[in-house]
Amino acid sequence: MNYTATPRNVQWQDLSNQHKNARERLKMSLEEFINGINVPPIAIVGPYGSGKSELMCWGLQEVWKEHKIPAFMVHLEKLLKEIPDNIDPSDFVDILEGIVGKQLSDLQELIDVDSEKAIPSKIYLPDMRSDDTLTSYFKEIYKDTFNLSDFKETLQSKKVVLFIDEMEQKYSELLQKVKVSDKAPLREVLESVEKRLTSYYLVMSFGLTSAYETISGADERRVQTIYISLPTPKNFASIVKNSPNAN
């Protein structure tokens, strides 16, 4: 059994009222962004194994399939490779805009050239296999509703959602790249996203312990925090009871 979070086969379950509330809050914020409402970026916070990446995969599939809006998902470690050293906070806003724009143009170019060509690993799509083509990958995301012509229209959208996973793993490196004195490298980005000065909306995940260090102070006031706890024994019992393999 594969326990890796993937938008190909989203395993998110509303195991408790808290889990249901987390998913509904994410859904509402994504819809508000798509509908043109000013909404703060999201920080999904929880301990290891609580389902943060799974919820992000649910959100990514929701955005592509239900709202016909492009979405990308990347670990902060990979994203940092495209961010120069010693940048101003305001420059970070534009750099992310450029990165998102390049992701879209690379997908558009792939469609124009050959939709059956393998997707380059530089594209921020989670759980990609070496032989994945644009058609094969997104057929699993869209299930039975994938249509290449509609997909082309989706890529023309002026709105994009960027999911950044495992922020805590390389947050210290982000601090080194962005010149700030208050340990809030995301300040300008978060403000710009909420004020709709960017084409992208931001959803990030943080480990529980590190969240108090990485999104405290100035940045904490600029995000919506969604907490996810580990499933309880009762939740696990429910999972086993409802499993198709249960006797």
Q: Contact 11/5 with Cβ under 8 angstroms?
A: yes
* Closest C-alpha among 35, 78, 16 to residue 228: 16
Q: Up-side HSE of residue 155: CA atoms within 13 Å toward CB? A: 20
pLDDT of residue 216: 56
Q: What are the start-end ranges of the H helices in the chain?
A: 17-34, 52-61, 67, 76-80, 89-113, 134-142, 148-154, 171-177, 187-194, 208-214, 233-242
Residue 2 binned pLDDT confidence (cut-offs 50, 70, 90)? very low
Lowest-pLDDT choice from 89-103, 117-131, 224-238: 224-238
| Gap between the Cα atoms of 117 and 111, Å rounded | 9
Q: Is the pLDDT of residue 40 over 90?
A: yes
Chain centroid to CA 145: how far?
A: 22
Residue 240 binned pLDDT confidence (cut-offs 50, 70, 90)? low
The segment with the largest mean pLDDT, out of 75-79, 173-177, 217-221, is 75-79
Q: Contact 61/7 with Cβ under 8 angstroms?
A: yes
Unique residue bearing structure tokens 């016909």: 68
* Closest C-alpha among 52, 51, 26 to residue 202: 26
pLDDT of residue 209: 65
The reported pTM is 0.90
Span 52-63, mean pLDDT? 96
133-143: per-residue pLDDT in tens?
999 999 999 98
pLDDT of residue 230: 84
Q: Contact 160/100 with Cβ under 8 angstroms?
A: yes
Q: Is the pLDDT of residue 228 over 90?
A: yes
Indicate the Cα dihedral angle 174, 177, 178, 183, nearest 10°: 50
Residue 1 binned pLDDT confidence (cut-offs 50, 70, 90)? very low
Sorted by sequence, the CB contacts under 8 Å of residue 185 that are 6+ apart come out as 89, 92, 174, 175, 177, 178
* Closest C-alpha among 163, 152, 162 to residue 198: 162
17-32: per-residue pLDDT in tens?
999 999 999 999 999 9
Q: Residue 202 to residues 103, 109, 121, 152, 234: CA-CA distances in angstroms?
A: 15, 24, 21, 23, 33
pLDDT of residue 25: 97
Span 104-111, mean pLDDT? 94
| Gap between the Cα atoms of 26 and 9, Å rounded | 19
Residue 208 binned pLDDT confidence (cut-offs 50, 70, 90)? confident
Q: Contact 60/73 with Cβ under 8 angstroms?
A: yes
* Closest C-alpha among 236, 215, 238 to residue 226: 215
Q: Contact 164/205 with Cβ under 8 angstroms?
A: yes
Sorted by sequence, the CB contacts under 8 Å of residue 184 that are 6+ apart come out as 217, 218, 219
Q: What is the sign, positive or negative, of the torsion defined by CA atoms of 189, 63, 110, 159?
A: negative
147-200: per-residue pLDDT in tens?
989 999 999 999 999 999 999 888 889 989 999 877 788 989 999 999 999 999
